[in-house]
Amino acid sequence: MPEFYQYLFSGLTNGAIYAIIALGFSMLFAATDLINFAHGEFVMIGALILVTLWPVMGLPLPLAFVITVLATGILGIVFERLAIRTVKKPDPIVLVIITVGAGIFLRGVAMIIWGKTAKGAPPFSKMPPLEIGGAYLLAQSVWILGIVLATVLVMHFFYSRTLTGKAMSACAINKRAASLLGIATQRMTLLAFAVSAALGGMAGVIIAPITMNEYEMGAILGLKGFCAAMLGGLGNSWGAVVGGFALGIAEAMAVGYVSSSMKDAVAFLLLLLILYVRPTGILGGKAIARF
């Protein structure tokens, strides 16, 4: 039984990260019908900015955290302004390919700024691991789960309690009707990009201490997040959370009980399976429910 718990903890930790990346994919898709394949690069940039600000420059962690999230959010705004809004004929397929290109560009810029060597970061706190049922839960995992949970709650509050959140949902449901009510739909798109990129940056921050941070880390994280979003139902925020944890746990179990070479295969096997059995995802796609 201890090893089951161990796999479960590892799955929950990874799942939380996938969940928050998937949330970024999903909320942007809901608001703009766009899959941002550069999303993983925001995770990478978030991790590298944190590594620079905190262990290297010595800023206090909370401050570095906030600056990183804000910086990636602003990068999301710049991305929308320069690469998305300037497109004359915004067909979805054109925009998706632009995001792929932007991802490659961001990776290149990151390589120039931070170089090719991987950097590490210490855990957020120096507490010893917790022992539960014979298995060990890292303090960083507790941080990750806590931060992801808090973020999900904040997002839920934003969508269900604030006027801006509701206006954003309205834009996602029907842009035309929303603009007839005086909602500035372009500004809502911009806001969606900013929040989505900031979520990516936050994923980078919390993952930095448990991985090697280098310019290429974004691609696979982005794909995993995308799988999780599809798994839960693209455009459905709760679906992104469910999909993220399902993917993380399935991956950890496959690694533990089958073979560690299965790790990346699991995500794509699950994706194929879900597309085959239930193409709208576990909780259903965009139209059915959101936060």
Partner 1 sequence: MLTIRNLKCWYGGIEALSGVTLSVGQGELVALIGANGSGKSTLLQAVCGLLPGWKGEISFEKVPLNKKKPQDIVAGGICMVPEGRLVFGPLSVLDNLKLGAYLRYRKRDHYGIKKDLDKIFSLFPILAQRSGQHAGTLSGGEQQMLSIGRALMARPKLLLLDEPSMGLAPLVARLIFDTLAELREDGLTILIVEQNARAALMIADRGYVLETGRMVLAGKAKELLADEEIKRAYLGKDYARFTEGRA
Residues binding partner 1 (CB under 8 A): 163, 166-167, 169-170, 173-174, 176-184, 287-290
- Residue 287: CB minimum distance to partner 1, A: 7
- Residue 177: CB minimum distance to partner 1, A: 4
- Residue 20: CB minimum distance to partner 1, A: 23
- Residue 241: CB minimum distance to partner 1, A: 17
Q: For partner 1, which is the closer residue by CB, 183 or 252?
A: 183
Q: For partner 1, which is the closer residue by CB, 144 or 171?
A: 171
Q: For partner 1, which is the closer residue by CB, 180 or 277?
A: 180
Q: For partner 1, which is the closer residue by CB, 23 or 210?
A: 23
* Dihedral angle over CA of 265, 196, 234, 291, nearest 10: 130
Name the residue type at position 193.
Answer: F
- Residue 12: CB minimum distance to partner 1, A: 29
Q: For partner 1, which is the closer residue by CB, 179 or 211?
A: 179
